[in-house]
Amino acid sequence: MLLTRLVSLLCIDGLLRCILSFMLSLLCLACVSCEWFQPAAPDSEQDKRLLALLEIRSERVQSREECLVIYALDSSDRYVFRRLPDDPTRPVSFEMDVPQPILDTMSTQRLLKTALGHPLNVEIAPFTVCTSVWRCRESMFLLYNAWRALEQRPDALEECFRRYDKLNVLCDSSLRTLFRLGVFDPRTTDVLRQTSLIESFLTRPAMLSQLSPKVLRRLAAKVLAKHKQKESMYESELGKTEGLWLMAAIMVQAKDPEFLEAVEKNRELKILSQGLFAGHPISTKNALLPHVERFIKTY
């Protein structure tokens, strides 16, 4: 009798322990679930401003005059680089740097327009004489103090996003027709040049490392929208490599696991993510874009 009672007590004690253990497990799971479902931290004030500038809006066709206002880099808004004296031993050249006293007093907006307006930018984008877009980007920083100074400005991202938002290759329907006919209107190539230069500038780690995951995702969507504008306008790959490079750099910065795995397996994607193409193969573009679409939707 005593033995039977003892066994019963031990069974009850074991059952109670199992129930207690189960309840503790549920409690821990509930705590973890609470953490999972906690509301996301509110956007910082800078993020709010950047996200607003990266909104994707439908572009309307405008008059030629309106387009020129958008594209223009008026001399009153920037420093105009002086042409150097002619020398038969070298091609036409211009001063490379903004004088330091002027540089120090420039607004960031004027500094960006100055960097975009250097006459020798024609050798960098969208027609490049460099062996790769990475080398062109590094040449920008090596040769021109305007780009180096811009990278140090705390509001450089905002000004770049603001200018990038304005640049619209679909702006003037007549320019679309000219492009389709294979005639490159200087104004159209100018907007492509500015777009490409800003995209190259944004690939710099010092720029991308400032962006939150949410802003990185929105930037990728904006660059993809710009790419689709170009795709709808002309078949050439001219002026598209920098945007593809930027989208790849964004996913690398975000440490997107699927893209990083693809980069290790696909040599062309690896070259693109490093900016080592001067002009990309179409196969590289076709391999990249599905990753960008997924990245935008899943993060």
User: 241-253 and 133-143 are packed helices; what angle lies between their axes, rounded to 10 degrees?
Assistant: 90
Domains in the chain, number:
1
Residue 108 lies in a domain: yes
Phi, psi torsion values for 83, nearest 5 degrees: -75, 135
Q: What is the pLDDT of residue 147?
A: 96
Percent of all residues in the chain with a pLDDT value above 70, rounded to a whole number: 78
Give yes or no for a contact between 226 and 195, defined as CB atoms under 8 angstroms apart.
yes
DSSP 76: G
Residues 6+ apart with CB under 8 A from 124: 130, 136, 139, 140, 193, 197, 200
Number of H helices, E strands in the chain: 16, 0
Q: Give me the pLDDT at residue 32, please.
A: 43
Q: Is residue 178 part of a domain?
A: yes
Domain extent at residue 228: 44-298
The answer to the question of residue 251 being in a domain is yes
Note the pLDDT of residue 124.
82
> Is 27 part of a structural domain of the chain?
no
Measured distance CA(112)–CA(188) in Å, rounded: 19
- Residue 27 clears pLDDT 80, i.e. is over it: no
Q: Is residue 19 part of a domain?
A: no
Candidates 209, 207, 210; CA nearest to 151 is 207
pLDDT value for 40: 61
- Domain assignment present for residue 35? The answer is no
For the chain, list the strands marked E by DSSP.
none
pLDDT at 6: 40
List phi, psi (to 5°) of 107.
-70, 160
DSSP character at residue 279: S
Residue 17 lies in a domain: no
Nearest CA to 100 out of 149, 169, 154 is that of: 149
Residue 17: the pLDDT is: 59
Q: Is residue 50 part of a domain?
A: yes
